[in-house]
Chain A
Amino acid sequence: MVVTGLWTMLTIVLYALQTSLLTFISFDGFSANLMLLLVVSIAFVRGHKYGIFFGFVAGILQDLTSGSYFGIATFSYMTLGLVFGKFSVNLFREQALLPVVSSIPALAFHFAITVGFLFLLDKQFDVVKLWREYFWPTAIMQVVLAYPVHKVVCDLNEYAKKHR
């Protein structure tokens, strides 16, 4: 129960951080996506099942509170949880560089899914501009914050293992 509460608290705190504190260091409205880092880290550490579950929770939380198209974040995070969770089988889970390296493809994947949905919804926007002007600044922030998030996830995972 405590462990579940801690995971829930971590998710909510990271989301609150993402939507409040990190907006102060945003680049033209784009700031780091801590939910994405959380989902990827959990997927690496605990496998694709937890990855999908946390993707669902984080996505629902974001979709419900952000006012964007409902379901896009949920679908994207669940997919990422599944994909990176599947990768985790063949990788050493405790490797510190892993989330840092994977933060950029994860972000690219998230961008691609979001763009795909927007395309299906017939929303016109400049993909090249989005890629060139917003993706890389966000990617840099992701890389910077990937390790701290991963460290917290690993520590909480250790704590959960001990108190299971």
Chain B
Amino acid sequence: MKISIQELNKVYPNGKHALSDINLEIENGMFGLLGPNGAGKSSLMRILVTLMKPSSGRIMVNDLDLSKNRGEIRKLLGYLPQDFRFFSKLKTWEFLDYAARLSGIKNKKIRLQKVDLWLEKVGLFDSRDRSASKLSGGMKRRLGIAQALIGEPKIIVVDEPTTGLDPEERIRFRNILSEISQTEAIIILSTHIVGDISSTCHNLALLDNGTLGFNGSPPELIDLAKEHVWQINTSGVEYDLLKDKYPIISTIPSEDGWEVQLVADEIDNKNAIALEPNLEHAYVYFMEYLSKEQMS
């Protein structure tokens, strides 16, 4: 499976450029789409799942042009949108059955087996007869992922999947996705939560203001932030100065004041200790410095 995005642009009728000249290659495995709110992630996703037309550019899925072969490409898709609610009158299993039917599973016996299997997988088997609209937030997300995956799609698009989930649910969710990513499928995970990506994605793209800032593996992104992440123990007055000058990643109260972690191209503080960056540090560094440099 390979998705090739070429010179993709999306301009809304109000003139807003949601996507500008995006070029991306996505291959099997989990692909993270990272960026702040409004960066164009959802626009890209909606174009990918054929809900929206791009203004220009092309998306090829293997050899198929997305704009000409929606029918074939839709057969490959599994999609979980950000704000996922239900037809209020359907039961949990019915909703899954509905999705399974639409994904083309015609044999009733096989379909019901799959429904049960997926209910088990996402831990909703006991709630199979509950009205889908009465499930908790986490359960709904799980049902959402189940409906997206039940037809064994080759391209799975998941938009902000962990928003509103408690940590336990989040871990469970990541595990499900990790499991799928072992198969011959592309999973595109759009998020603004770096943690969702760090543990699972082999590749990622960073979107900012509709443009592609970075495309590569997480270690490559982390490498960019090397020598640019610092920790400083500081007191009250200095903290205010630092805050104004550098993007702060975390602030932990200590005996003398605060233990502050920040990113900076260069730092003129003697107390600053260089830290080994992680993906979150790299993301902040990228957004605060590299992205702005690119823009300028």
A and B are interacting partners: no
List A residues at the B interface (Cβ < 8 Å).
Answer: none
